[in-house]
Structure 1
């Protein structure tokens, strides 16, 4: 049968039956594929306003760039065409797939399957580090994507020669369900929110779900009931006003407003920072897209409002949902004992078991993220232990091995890839679909795995940095005139120290370490670092580094594996709510000299900046960092002043300068964190961070100024 007749029959069948959303792949020359896509859109009678075209489009300017996907979230289309010739963005593919309404189609235009893996993707260089572009000759991710497409019976594949695949009909039992209407799950959730409004004080309700499950509509419907039947006042906050448009749409009341300045309306939007900056009163606070709000703000909001409902997307194109799971829920467990969790599973914008969603979930292994809310077995923070020989790590007879795994091995072994990426996804809050593409394609990335009885229980992801290619730009980078893709730590340290050597030196950066929590007491993180260190030395690498959101546990892990703190950032990361830290381990004599100088610089900077830029940084973290800093010895007169203070009842402020110097000297002699006396954090907070007196009294649970002075004196004696 002629190809055009087959296409018409396929589209006619879609009109005559209720079908799931569907992926259509047109593989062939770009112009031919675009013309065929246009024909499909015309035969399907899809109006221009219900079509989104991503990438190049023949004879029309009605197209968008793939990187604008955030602007289209919340909008629905009958059809979406994605031109792969313009470039592949995994985050965009995942996000755009969620904009297609029930019964719609997603068309991918791509080169011939035989040519696609070696096609020079225009976006490939943006996914790799500077200097690695010449190595981009084969896309292992595309190889895998083609295999998934060919093996998915619900995907339509069209080439100049043939057409394959079939429609996926919605089962008869689901046809009667009206889309975009409330589900029994939502009704149960709404009832819980209504009950919460009159009781459950200080017991937050946390809603999690995949996209399309009706979180926003449930909040809107609950708001309408609370306003109409109980005359409640509700404030809703989110990272952006656009995030809550659906909430207001479902609330359906002329009394509602999105004006953050309104105070006399039953439902108002107020930005998170504005909500904390001024007094606001409400019976309930709704926090939508909570995963995208810094944890410090969420904590402050929970303490300010007695009744809080939070919603968060479980998985996402940017990994934000995992940050909420990994970093904020433990806080709730500890500080809000009565908090409740509610998960929405039934889609409302398309039918259950939608084949388009299933395809992309499988492609990017998002099934693991979806189920991870109850998975308590993965950790990104290996237990801090001293490095020990690999053969003594596992005390029993279980077979273990630490090896480097190639990109080709990952693609050719689906089980290995699944186990590896699952660990990365479930252990780190920012792992996204784009990271899967980089894992399989980025030439500068290296992967090491720890297997136990043939199962991957630990992984470490490495980026190669510095070296010959970057050295060509070392002068420009050091002056701050140039910044290139990748080489995060190499460029950072070169600029920070005004030393081109950090660009020229061959180094590896440990991007991530993820360990199965059930194996955390077996020193797997340390074993991975040992193997990485030996491999790096064998390849002439001079420096191992890592950059991460600073926390006490992570600092302990890295320092006990003999990595030195080299730089502490000033700004908090929006997702982790932590300042960044760079640590390093020298692997050559030349690198040791540079690292030694950098450690001295780090000490001087921390002493100088601690009261200026780190007043709100975690005090316990700073205390531990100070144990890695050299300090000046006390003079005879200074020792006398300290002795006089300890014997007197004078306020500590009079002697704060010399007491601070004494504290720094004592901390510099500490060998392990267990040697730090209990009261030392109070000394750091008062003498070095200069926290206000009232803050110190509250933070350390003291009765007043006299008690503060007494505890500072006792803590100094304990030093």
Structure 2
């Protein structure tokens, strides 16, 4: 019966060049046996089959759920997703994406009526201390089961429960005893046969070799390659957008290979190399025999000097070795600030998936596209709509988009246009209400997707099921205009805190973990905190104070429940200003950059109780003292404005304690003929005191405090005094006319520091020069 159903599904999928979903619901061992029966019935070679499972011992490729990324960029005829043991929403998206046209996606699930109430390894990851597994809910799977029971192209077989377990994968085969299998849905849709594709041919004005265009499978893909020819000309930018499976990465690879053959140095980047695997596979096909010996799988060299090479995003943004052009694949999965750095390339292509399994933040389409349009590049846009690996109207594509909310988006701008702070209302977003209201869920999750470059299917499950998370929103009428996703942290027992201090990872407690394990504060996880995981404002309403209003409402609601509020984010000047104005203060800056964002991560606290204030006070002081040295070491490459912002948000009191000898050197360099190099440590103490938020009364200036320096003078303190960069590079970066002028500017900048912090001895030394 199962074999016959699988054959029918496979024949229909092949005829329509679509995919079908077969759900085998019931006992796990019976499900594995049934999957073997289905695979044998459709006659697929084992090499074309993968199973995603926590079990081992299968005769075909097995991928662990946590490693489902390995399926990205690959195609399989059958993918089996074992949803027992550890059902990971991300793995569902990746498994579906790997199934080729004419193929089957097979899900092995518990009985559908029971599945939402069962708990597995993924649920354990949601049970973050102090919450227990019993606190995790099954709303995500309840919603998923609803889509399985109603979506076209989904076959459901009820296998029932076995009376005795099998001994291993495929061991019991069809002989397992228990209730008989029942087909609940056959999943057949009787679609029209797929139309044969006509080769698009080479455009008459094309410059790439004919073989490149002969490798294109659709007219859309050929148009993409034709647009990418412009990368040979400096000042050109290309944007290729598509849903998954439209061949954008293949088009980029074909173009990259052709450009390398023409002698160009093509730099490729993506969130991870696996995302760019298709680019390199197609580039190698084009280069073929023209490739030199391959030094590694991330570099293709051509005899006449051309090459295609890969670097991670943060490294690629430095444009090392001056590439002729850059290809950014999966661009929407990178933050806007990092994307902007590629606008310094001679020519650049941004290829992006509109609805992605890895997270496809719409910062690219909402914010970055405006900045690209304002650049000096001549921009060409290409949209790829024609699927390549399967036909249009593929039911598995529409099901996975619905099940994982891959197409979630905020309300249309016209629906919220003109909304002001005075128009909005504050409301909770209870998970049960989100589950029952698909429009509310779609708008709220769509805002989270739009706000962050790494929102992914796992986050949808966390929103619905994680006991430590709460969501709040601002609404205009019935439209969601801002969302905050908040995580309860801390309040941990002594045993858990001690384990964290010894290096044990405690899930879901990001800020307490950093403060305890990295910054060595064993009591940090005792106080109760509420961390802002995401905050999102509708793109049509940014700059109107709506995000600040949402935070104010959150603070008012929870101020008596928590000891402090917290946040962690990639430190940019704009975000540092936003959080400082909301009352948050710096306690940490990561020593390394995030590989994808290219930013150092900042952690900030806003105290609400005596315990929260004590936590902030001790970490602010430690941060102030740590940065005095870190800015010339691990933080030597931190952006000057980011350094200014993170120091301005530090609430530690000023600590300037110079000897008379040090004051003599500082005063002489400021008011007389002295030199900075005589006492660099003294200047560093003064710079930290000046730029740190505890240095004076808050104002509305960039740093917010009372020493009267302009922006360039503050950057000079960061670059030269705190980061210890060479005079020549500082003068060049800050646009002083000469090194000597830069040196004189530092002397002038330190004059008000002497006035602000100088002792009686220092002021007497100053008067000697002024009176002389």
Shift of 1:590: 2.4
Alpha carbons 2:52, 2:68 under 8 Å: kept: no
> Match for residue 402 of structure 2?
362
Alpha carbons 2:668, 2:675 under 8 Å: kept: no
Alpha carbons 2:731, 2:742 under 8 Å: kept: yes
Distance (Å, rounded) in 1 between the aligned partners of 2:74 and 2:367: 30
Q: What is the CA deviation profile of residues 210-238 of structure 1, one whole-angstrom value per residue up to 9, with x for unaligned ones?
A: 3322123223433565577xx44343534
* Residue 347 of structure 2 is aligned to residue 307 of structure 1: yes
* Residue 45 of structure 2 is aligned to residue 18 of structure 1: no
Shift of 1:330: 6.4
Q: What is the CA deviation profile of residues 471-525 of structure 1, one whole-angstrom value per residue up to 9, with x for unaligned ones?
A: 3221221233x22222111121123453332222222211111111333344332
Alpha carbons 2:666, 2:683 under 8 Å: kept: yes
> Match for residue 289 of structure 2?
254
TM-score calculated relative to the size of structure 1? 0.86
Distance (Å, rounded) in 1 between the aligned partners of 2:7 and 2:227: 48
Q: What is the CA deviation profile of residues 157-198 of structure 1, one whole-angstrom value per residue up to 9, with x for unaligned ones?
A: 22233332443455457444579843222222222232442x
Count of aligned pairs between the two proteins: 691
Shift of 1:453: 1.0
Tell me the SS of whatever aligns to 2:30: helix
Tell me the SS of whatever aligns to 2:474: strand
Tell me the SS of whatever aligns to 2:583: coil
Shift of 1:674: 1.6
Tell me the SS of whatever aligns to 2:580: helix
Picking from 191, 194, 201, the partner of 2:229 is: 194
Distance (Å, rounded) in 2 between the aligned partners of 1:421 and 1:276: 30
Alpha carbons 2:666, 2:676 under 8 Å: kept: no
Distance (Å, rounded) in 1 between the aligned partners of 2:139 and 2:613: 38
Picking from 701, 705, 713, the partner of 1:674 is: 701
Shift of 1:537: 3.6
Q: What is the CA deviation profile of residues 593-624 of structure 1, one whole-angstrom value per residue up to 9, with x for unaligned ones?
A: 22222221121112221211211101112223
Q: 1 or 2 for the larger relative contact order (CA 8 Å, sep ≥6)?
A: 1
Shift of 1:527: 2.8
Q: How does 1:47-58 map to 2 (within 5 A)?
A: 47-55=45-53
Alpha carbons 1:312, 1:321 under 8 Å: kept: no
Alpha carbons 1:127, 1:438 under 8 Å: kept: yes
CA separation of 1:162 and 1:283: change in aligned 2, threshold 3 A: closer
Q: How does 1:415-430 map to 2 (within 5 A)?
A: 415-430=439-454
Distance (Å, rounded) in 2 between the aligned partners of 1:294 and 1:531: 27
CA separation of 1:525 and 1:708: change in aligned 2, threshold 3 A: same
CA separation of 1:30 and 1:58: change in aligned 2, threshold 3 A: farther
Distance (Å, rounded) in 2 between the aligned partners of 1:32 and 1:634: 75
Alpha carbons 2:14, 2:101 under 8 Å: kept: no
* Residue 255 of structure 2 is aligned to residue 222 of structure 1: yes
CA separation of 1:394 and 1:208: change in aligned 2, threshold 3 A: closer
> Match for residue 706 of structure 2?
none
Query: Which stretch of the first structure deviates more once superposed, 273-282 or 88-97?
Result: 273-282
CA separation of 1:661 and 1:501: change in aligned 2, threshold 3 A: closer
> Match for residue 78 of structure 2?
79
> Match for residue 311 of structure 2?
272
Tell me the SS of whatever aligns to 1:472: helix
Distance (Å, rounded) in 1 between the aligned partners of 2:499 and 2:343: 46
Alpha carbons 1:232, 1:283 under 8 Å: kept: no
* Residue 466 of structure 2 is aligned to residue 442 of structure 1: yes
Tell me the SS of whatever aligns to 1:204: strand
> Match for residue 138 of structure 2?
139
> Match for residue 209 of structure 2?
none
RMSD of aligned residue pairs (Cα, Å) = 3.5
Q: How does 1:563-574 map to 2 (within 5 A)?
A: 563-574=584-595
> Match for residue 151 of structure 2?
152
* Residue 455 of structure 2 is aligned to residue 456 of structure 1: no
CA separation of 1:606 and 1:329: change in aligned 2, threshold 3 A: farther
TM-score calculated relative to the size of structure 2? 0.81
Distance (Å, rounded) in 2 between the aligned partners of 1:621 and 1:406: 36
Q: How does 1:39-438 map to 2 (within 5 A)?
A: 39-55=37-53, 60-62=58-60, 63-136=62-135, 138-159=137-158, 160-168=181-189, 171=192, 174-176=195-197, 181-197=216-232, 199=233, 201-223=234-256, 225-226=258-259, 231-238=262-269, 239-240=272-273, 242-251=277-286, 253-257=288-292, 258-259=294-295, 260=299, 262=301, 264-265=303-304, 267-272=306-311, 280=321, 284-289=325-330, 303=344, 306-319=346-359, 332=372, 336-368=376-408, 394-395=421-422, 398=423, 400-438=424-462
> Match for residue 625 of structure 2?
604
Shift of 1:560: 1.1
Alpha carbons 1:463, 1:510 under 8 Å: kept: yes
CA separation of 1:291 and 1:367: change in aligned 2, threshold 3 A: closer
Query: Which stretch of the first structure deviates more once superposed, 561-570 or 646-655?
Result: 646-655
Tell me the SS of whatever aligns to 2:701: helix
* Residue 735 of structure 2 is aligned to residue 701 of structure 1: yes
Shift of 1:422: 0.3
> Match for residue 685 of structure 1?
719
Picking from 518, 540, 548, the partner of 2:569 is: 548
> Match for residue 579 of structure 1?
600
Alpha carbons 2:336, 2:368 under 8 Å: kept: yes
Q: What is the CA deviation profile of residues 297-353 of structure 1, one whole-angstrom value per residue up to 9, with x for unaligned ones?
A: 8777764x5334343444433326657667865664565543444332322111122
Distance (Å, rounded) in 1 between the aligned partners of 2:450 and 2:96: 22
Picking from 684, 706, 712, the partner of 2:746 is: 712
> Match for residue 533 of structure 2?
511
Distance (Å, rounded) in 1 between the aligned partners of 2:547 and 2:328: 36
> Match for residue 494 of structure 1?
516
> Match for residue 589 of structure 1?
610
